Structure 1
Amino acid sequence: MGQDPHSDTTAAIVAGCIVAFVGFGFAATFGVFLRPMSLDLGWGREVFALSMAIQALCWGVTQPLAGMVADRQGTARVLAFGAVVSALGFFLRGAVIDPAVFIASGVVVGVGTGACSFPVVIVALGKVVDARRRSFVLGLGTAAASTGMFVAAPLSSLLMSLIGWQSAILVIAASFLLILPVLVFIARVSRPTAQDGAGDGFARAVRTAFGDRSYVLLFFGFFVCGFHVAFIQTHLPAYIADHQLAPVIGAWSLAIIGLFNIAGSFLSGWAGQRHSKKNALAGIYFSRAVVIAAFVLIPLSPASVYVFSAFMGLLWLSTVPLTTGLVAQTQGLRFLSTLAGLVFFSHQTGAFVGAWLGGRIYDATGDYQGMWWAAIGLALLATLLHLPIRETPGQLAQAET
């Protein structure tokens, strides 16, 4: 008897959600280690922040390269490589106590998470479902990543309290190997969409996409999302503890962001199927500006932290299914992994700036106020960038039909 294609697709979607859950959760909430590690080791916060920034940038550089390999050879091999390298990177962070090694580990973790992170997974899933279901499946994969974030933040805090931060990091390293067994299900449905000898085609596709104003606006708009996400997930727990609130509140703030992002991801996936994706994105960025401004202006308390985290969670990665969906809608599917990866590189460039600059400004001034106001200004800029985007198929998408 032959295999049921529908059953294979369902199994691949479940497996993809598991990969997104494991591959994103601990990497996204590693900021809970910033303050305890810096205090215990006598490091300035820029050491930790620089490692996280390099991780984000290398993730961004790896993402389009991983996308090219996935377009040519399928996704499962890329994810397996990423899982093993991520495990190695986190092992180095826990096993070798040296600031230079810790900073350099950002390269290893960045390459690994760039190859096994949820953007690689959701693009692969987006290719094997029809266009009507694509936004929903992209939202589902993003929600799975957010669930990982919800679980990982308090679990990391618990592990630190039970076995110390060093052993906790080693547990994180081992968790990435859980990705390997489920890749068989993704391998069954993940097929190459570009020929092995399509080097000229890749270059032409990239040139064509960057000649499309809508793609360029998505590229620069996603920089802002990365700036927000990396700054907040790296520095929010420390910012909260700096104001004499319990450190566990910082861990739960990231967990709440992850929890509410599950709803935000589903809502954005649903909205992308029924309404204008560019208007939804503009609304998300404007809402971020309002929420961050309120958080900065209202006196800090556990209640204000949790309310801020809930609202930011709704807006957190809700940009991903809409942005990826717009890339698919305007540029087509043939080179989607590559072109979505390049847009994600912009996101991770913003993440580099957000993570590193937060540590640099804190060490120089003793607070994060300048970073919060920069986040507000960039959110308003991103709102304006998304309004002129065209939602009809561009040259690449038209060529496919």
Structure 2
Amino acid sequence: MNAIADAATHGVESPYAWRRLAAGLTLSTLGGVGMWSVVVALPAMQADFGVDRASASVPFTLTMVGFGLGNIVMGRLADRFGIALPMMLGTVLLSLGYVLTGLAGALWQVSLLHGALIGFGSSTLFGPLMADMSHWFSKRRGRAVAIAATGNYLAGAFWPLVVSHFIESSGWRATHIGIGIFLIVAMTPLILVMRRRLVEGHSDATTSGDARRRAESPFSPRTLQILLCIAGVACCVAMAMPQVHLVAYCSDLGYGAARGAEMLSAMLALGIISRVGSGFIADKIGGVRTLLIGSLAQGVALFLYLPFNGLYSLYVISAMFGLFQGGIVPSYAIIVREYFSPKEASTRVGLVIFSTVIGMAVGGWMSGKIFDLTGSYQAAFLNGIAFNAINVTIMLWLLFRSSRPRPALAAA
């Protein structure tokens, strides 16, 4: 009876599971500063160190690299020891990274600290967190994973304003030291909520559909992992075009950087709605179909950038893009839980998230390179559409192969 009562109180879909989700979302929003502060602090750092814009952008690049690698390493730790240990480790790394960045005497030191500590430390709060939440929900798994993923966008809406205010009033060094101290104090109590682990096999017992799907999968685990990683790169190369270059595109059209920043802000804000909404959809139709819908819609939005470049048209299309693309990345975590063993979830989600980060990095650079070669973003939008088609093709293939009945074994 005690075991049954404990399962009802602290098991799958329990009140504790919802408290855990709330704590995870808060942690993700707080720790998500690691992905956004460097963009806000870039001009101040550039002026302080007296370097060009390309050199001042290196900390952002290394942050993304550290974030991508951290999703794999921290995911593996979460699979073995539970999410609390890598979360605590990530928080310590984040805190140290910000304090040491505030004390750094050279830009190369700032760059290394952003990659090895800040980017790496914040990684636990994305891929591994989504994988962890997938264990605690069955019927509502899609929305739980999607809600956990919104912390990254909430951080993007909250932290830039805070960081900008304190940089203007106290300088970028004092701001970074203050963030480091705040994070260790604010996040540690919340991590204590995440210490509980499910009883071995409990998660599997509530997801017989996932077990059947894994048994009937037409792909080997390695093949499926490779396909998902290729899809992750492709979808985020496409996603990077407007997200990375929208401000520059608006400036080139004569609308000014401020208008482009407004469009980007609206895009990210509507991405929150998209992420949560995609979770509800995934609970009804599964991760593959949800990702396919999001990817098809993203392709439509990218195509609309080609014939329409008026100011108000760009506002509308950018808003559509935000509504369409926000649920794509969380859908990968749902697919992993549907097709792979729960014991490997965090590691495999981390591998896919790493692929999406590579896609964003390569896509941002590729779009800029295409612009340099052609003098226009039209070819860059076409390049994004082509990569988006690769993602759509992989999802269609996975859906088609998974829906085909497996041939019955011949009687002996």
Secondary structure in 2 aligned to 1:151? Answer: helix
Percent identity, please.
22
Q: Are residues 1:267 and 2:274 paired? A: no
Q: Are residues 1:148 and 2:155 paired? A: yes
Q: Are residues 1:74 and 2:87 paired? A: no
Q: Tell me if structure 2 keeps the 8 A contact 1:73–1:192.
A: no
Q: Are residues 1:335 and 2:344 paired? A: yes
Flag the 1:88–1:307 CA change in 2: closer, same or farther, 3 A: farther
Q: Distance in 2 between matches of 1:247 and 1:106?
A: 26
Q: Are residues 1:124 and 2:128 paired? A: no
Flag the 1:257–1:85 CA change in 2: closer, same or farther, 3 A: farther
Q: Which stretch has the larger CA shift, 78-87 or 241-250?
A: 241-250
Aligned residue among 286, 293, 307 for 2:296: 286
Q: Distance in 2 between matches of 1:361 and 1:45?
A: 20
Higher relative contact order (CA 8 A, sep 6+): 1
- Tell me the amino acid that sits aligned with residue 270 of structure 1: F
Alpha-carbon shift at residue 384 of structure 1 (Å): 1.4
- Tell me the amino acid that sits aligned with residue 259 of structure 1: A
Q: Distance in 1 between matches of 2:177 and 2:254?
A: 29
Q: Distance in 1 between matches of 2:46 and 2:25?
A: 33
Flag the 1:176–1:392 CA change in 2: closer, same or farther, 3 A: farther
Q: Distance in 2 between matches of 1:217 and 1:288?
A: 19
* CA displacement 1:95-150 (0-9 Å, x = unmatched): 43634234323422221122x32222121111122x21211111111223322222
Q: Distance in 2 between matches of 1:153 and 1:259?
A: 13
Q: Provide the residue aligned with 1:107 in structure 2.
A: 115
Aligned residue among 261, 264, 267 for 1:257: 267
Q: Normalized against structure 1, the TM-score is what?
A: 0.79
Q: Provide the residue aligned with 2:213 in structure 1.
A: none
Aligned residue among 374, 389, 395 for 1:380: 389
* CA displacement 1:61-120 (0-9 Å, x = unmatched): 221221111111111110111122123334455543634234323422221122x32222
Secondary structure in 2 aligned to 1:299? Answer: coil
Q: Provide the residue aligned with 2:140 in structure 1.
A: 133
Q: Which runs of 5+ in 1 are unaligned?
A: 194-207, 394-401
Q: Distance in 1 between matches of 2:310 and 2:105?
A: 34
- Tell me the amino acid that sits aligned with residue 39 of structure 2: G
Q: Distance in 1 between matches of 2:44 and 2:299?
A: 30
Q: Which runs of 5+ in 2 are unaligned?
A: 202-217, 404-412
Q: Provide the residue aligned with 1:346 in structure 2.
A: 355
Alpha-carbon shift at residue 374 of structure 1 (Å): 2.9
Q: Distance in 1 between matches of 2:260 and 2:47?
A: 16
Q: Are residues 1:295 and 2:305 paired? A: yes
Q: Distance in 2 between matches of 1:36 and 1:367?
A: 30
Flag the 1:50–1:90 CA change in 2: closer, same or farther, 3 A: same
Q: Provide the residue aligned with 1:60 in structure 2.
A: 68
- Tell me the amino acid that sits aligned with residue 20 of structure 1: S
* CA displacement 1:249-281 (0-9 Å, x = unmatched): 455444323321221112111111112532332
Q: Provide the residue aligned with 1:10 in structure 2.
A: 18
Q: Tell me if structure 1 keeps the 8 A contact 2:34–2:122.
A: no
Q: Tell me if structure 2 keeps the 8 A contact 1:51–1:103.
A: yes
Root mean square deviation, CA, Å: 3.6
Q: Distance in 1 between matches of 2:47 and 2:307?
A: 28
